[in-house]
Every structure is written in structure tokens, then in C-alpha cells.
Amino acid sequence: EIVLTQSPATLSLSPGERATLSCRASQDISNFLAWYQQKPGQAPRLLIYGASSRATGIPARFSGSGSGTDFTLTISSLEPEDFAVYYCQQRGNWPRTFGRGTKVEIK
Amino acid sequence: QVQLVESGGGVVQPGRSLRLSCAASGFTFSSYGMHWVRQAPDRGLEWVAVMSHNGIYEYYRDSVKGRFTISRDNSKNTLYLQMSSLRPEDTAVYYCAKDPSSSGYDVFDHWGQGTLVTVSS
């Protein structure tokens, strides 16, 4: 099973600041990585697929990069609605696995 | 717009069974793979099972293999998860999720609101 390690666990930032979230895979998954956003009481929402492609309707301030084992989600300038938990997920192998999440909270 | 509505959750004793349903609308259900994903507070998000658009392929995580069965009725636009021999560690919110591919080999591009399953005596 591929293990995804997300860091940091919590990121405390102010609106307008840049957020950089990391996801490391336990083995090479090429670009088969997605990112999801989850707010309290809601289902996850797809943000990024294929490591760097934005899903439909996702603002341009969200960007993804990386390949192989190291991936990054960047939010260029945090909006109030961006404070949430972010998960990475791999589709390089079965079973599909998720990271434990990074919580982006208001400083 | 895509809508996925889960139902069937509840409180069940260990060893008993439960069937979850996911009613789909807003897209051609028979063209897409579908998944079940669960979320427990102490274990985060866990993919559970997938079924291809035509029901030919299905895969499960090891911990539910032999106990859970995914199925679909394309005439009713509905996905199912039959869960048997339930364990306390199966307690979670269960989401159905749509795959953008027919095979079910891609990501989860739309999610339902989830249904809570609690396994407890």
C-alpha cells in the first residue's frame, strides 16, 4: 500500500498569505496525484488532478506541482473561504490511499 | 448538475449487515465508474471499493474484502454497498463518489454528502 505523508499537519496563516502544502509518496506514483479540500460538515471537493491540473471551477490561485514522490499544493493568496483541511490522494496503485491531511487555519 | 445522495446508514450491532444506497442524477450514470470512500475520525479518508461503469470490474480494500459487496443498477441510477459481518472499525461516514472515467481508475470528481454508519453493541 502506498503511504502518503502530508506536512505540515497544521498551517497557521493570515488571509492574503501564500500557503505551501507538501505530500510525499512512499514510492514513485508518476503524476497520479490529486488534491481535495474539505470544510467542516462537508464532503471533500476535488481541486487538482494529475498533480497539476485544476478541476472544473477551481480558482487559479490553487496550483499543484511535482512528480514521482514529492508533490506540492500552493495557494497563492489565501481567501477566507480557503481555510479548510487539504488531502492528497494517489491513483498510482490499489488500494487508492489518502494522506492524513493538512489543516490550514487562520492565524 | 451532478448530485449523489447516500442513504441507508444507521446504528448496527457488530456482526450484522447493512446496505447503503447512492442515488445519482445530473449525469449519465451508466458511463462512469463509481466508488465508496469512508471517513472515520481516527483513520481519515479511506477508499473502500470501486465498480466500473458496466459492473464488470470491482476492487476492494483488503479490510473489507469478503465482507462488503459493491453493486450498481444502471436502470435505476443507483450504486449500492452491501456490508456484512460489520465491525466497530467500520464505523465511519460513507461517501459515494463519481469517477471521471468509465473504468473507475481515475480520481473522485464528485462526492455525495455522506451517510453515517455506527457499529456498536
Q: From CA A80, how far away is CA B116, in angstroms rounded?
A: 29
* Chain A neighbors of B61, CB-CB under 8 A: 95
pLDDT at A103: 97
Taking Cα atoms as reference points, which of B97, B15, B105 lies closest to residue B59? B105
Query: What pLDDT, on the 0 to 100 scale, is given for residue B41?
Result: 80
Residues in chain A with CB shorter than 8 Å from the CB of B112 are 43
A28 within 8 A of A69, measured Cβ to Cβ: yes
- Chain A residues 37-76 with a CB less than 8 Å from chain B: 42-46, 49, 55
CA–CA distance, B31 with B102 (Å, rounded to integer): 6
Per CB-CB distance under 8 Å, the chain A contacts of B94 are none
Q: Which of B71, B68, B76 is nearest to B24 (CA)?
A: B76
Look at residue A106 in the predicted model and tell me its pLDDT. Answer: 95
Cβ–Cβ under 8 Å, residues A39 and A54: no
Give chain A's residues under pLDDT 70.
none
- The whole-number pLDDT of residue B42 equals 76
**Cβ pair A73, A86 in contact under 8 A:** yes
Residue B115 is predicted with a pLDDT of 98
Q: Are strands B115-119 and B10-12 parallel, antiparallel or unpaired?
A: parallel
Instruction: Judge contact between B33 and B106, C-beta under 8 A.
Output: yes
Cβ-defined contact of B109 to A46 (cutoff 8 Å):
yes
Contact predicate B6/B94, CB 8 Å: yes
In which residue ranges of chain B is pLDDT below 50? Answer: none
Which amino acid is located at B63 in the chain? Answer: S
Cis, peptide link before residue A8, omega less than 30° from 0? yes
pLDDT in the model for residue B19 = 98
